[in-house]
Amino acid sequence: MIKLLIVDDSALMRRQLTQIFASAGGFEISQARNGSEAVAQNRTFQPDVVTLDINMPEMDGLTALSLIMIERPVAVVMVSSLTEQGALATFEALNLGAVDYIVKPGGTISLSIDQIKDDLVAKVRAAARARIKSNKVAVKGLSQRIHNDREKVAIRPMVIERNSVREGLVIIGVSTGGPSTLEEILPQLPADFPWPVLVAQHMPAAFTKSFANRLNQACVLRVVEAASPMSIEPGTIYIAKGGADMVVATRAGKLTVLPKPENAHHLWHPSVELLGRSVLEHCDPARVMGVMLTGMGHDGSDAFTEIKNRGGRTIAESEESAVVFGMPKELIGKRGASIVLPAEKIAAQLNAWAGR
């Protein structure tokens, strides 16, 4: 039984959400009307998962989240509006420690909830199994101690493997827990990192531009949303546009990234598997580095395994750092990972493989 706390200032929304989870079964449910009540119930009800609205009276969702992650860290799924402001608030929530988010579509509440109910239940169930990352703000000043602790309990030491390939392509597949993980890894790539980076992060269309802009501020490399055909250039990180799939093609003799309508044969979008297949078609696998990060499901595991089998190199994020150890676990299980590393060591391996 999953103990679930539903936090929303709308009585109708609370009732609708309660009905969804009650019908799904396996949930013990409590409710809160605002952030203050959420913080209090996190102490008394002690939920396994919290669904948390952002805009609420008395105490907003972000303030409540920061207090929750300090007092009693718990898996939190944000309920966000489909707007640019909602996207920015959601990324801030993920940075504070939220596991995932669900986007409220427009229209009447009953119709909106009906559109997202299956996804919402799946995300909450996954969140109940998620590894909760520490609040970066709350642990400021303790980061070195935490780093040392991780070093002591690491299952295996990091092995930096090197090669002499000087040009190629990095592709990254990621889902639940991805934004904060990417914000940890990508800023560590230096200005002279020689290989372009393509990122397929499962995310709705309204969010990827804001996410790319946020990463662009944090990274030395240029970060862009691949919303139109673009030549693939070194020194650039391409974020797949949400609500579409991203593939690699050759145009006028140049390697190009293309957004395409969602392919119905794939369950998740932007599809990591489709990106990987297109890379295999147009690139030398020996010059490809694939990185599989946190996320539910198995998207991309087959393509990444083939990349490794055909001479490429792949990294699977280890269970010790993955928020949801689904996608990397699938890659490891198929023997498709050249090496398994925690998130904080992945950039160093990419730098080494790229000769930096």
User: What's the CATH number where 223 sits?
Assistant: 3.40.50.180
pLDDT computed for residue 134 by the predictor: 55
298 is catalytic: no
117-150: pLDDT as tens digits: 899 999 999 999 998 865 554 434 333 433 444 3
Instruction: Find the domain containing 116 and state its range.
Output: 2-128
Asked if residue 192 is part of any domain, the answer here is yes
Q: 167 and 24 in one domain?
A: no
Number of domains in the chain: 2
The residue from 76, 106, 128 where one domain ends is: 128
Same domain, 95 and 173: no
For residue 220, being part of any structural domain is answered with yes
**Cα gap 39→58, rounded to integer Å:** 12
Residue 143 is among the residues annotated as catalytic for this protein? no
Q: 216 with 318, same domain?
A: yes
For residues 320 and 161, the model is more confident at: 320
Same structural domain, 119 and 170: no
pLDDT at 166 over 70: no
pLDDT at 20 over 80: yes
In a domain, 134, yes or no: no
Q: What is the CATH number of the domain that holds 49?
A: 3.40.50.2300
290 and 171, same domain (yes or no): yes
Kindly state the tokens that stand for 166. 């000087």
Instruction: Confirm whether 332 is domain-assigned.
Output: yes
Task: Indicate the residue among 78, 110, 128 that finishes a domain.
Answer: 128
Confidence of residue 106 (pLDDT cuts 50, 70, 90): low
The mean predicted confidence, pLDDT, of the chain is 88
pLDDT on residue 356: 63
Q: Are residues 124 and 200 in the same domain?
A: no
Residue 233 and residue 105 share a domain:
no
As given in the structure block, the two tokens for residue 165 are 């390939």
Q: Tell me the helices (H) and strands (E) count for the chain, helix number first.
A: 12, 15
> Is 168 inside a domain boundary?
yes
pLDDT per position as a tens digit, 172-184: 999 999 999 999 9
**Beta carbons within 8 Å of 200's beta carbon, 6+ residues apart:** 171, 172, 173, 174, 240, 246, 270, 271, 272, 275, 300
75: tokens are 């898996």
Residue located via tokens 């119709």: 111
In a domain, 304, yes or no: yes
Q: Give the model's confidence band at 164: pLDDT under 50 very low, under 70 low, under 90 confident, else very high.
A: very low
Q: Considering the candidates 80, 175, 278, 318, report the single residue annotated as catalytic.
A: 175
Query: Per the domain annotation, does 276 fall within a domain?
Result: yes
Same-domain check for residues 244 and 328:
yes
Please indicate, yes or no, if residue 45 is contained in any of the structural domains: yes
Residue 333 and residue 241 share a domain: yes
Q: Which residue is catalytic, options 8, 53, 100, 299?
A: 299
- Tens digits of residue pLDDT in 61-85: 999 999 999 999 999 999 887 666 7
Judge if the upstream peptide bond of residue 270 is cis by omega within 30 degrees of 0: yes
Are 104 and 172 part of one and the same domain?
A: no
| pLDDT tens per residue, range 88-97 | 889 999 989 9
> 186 and 328 in one domain?
yes
Check 202, 210, 278, 298 and give the catalytic one.
202
Out of 128, 146, 171, pick the residue that ends a domain: 128
147 is an active site residue:
no
- pTM recorded for the entire structure: 0.83
| Whether residue 218 is found in the same domain as residue 112 | no
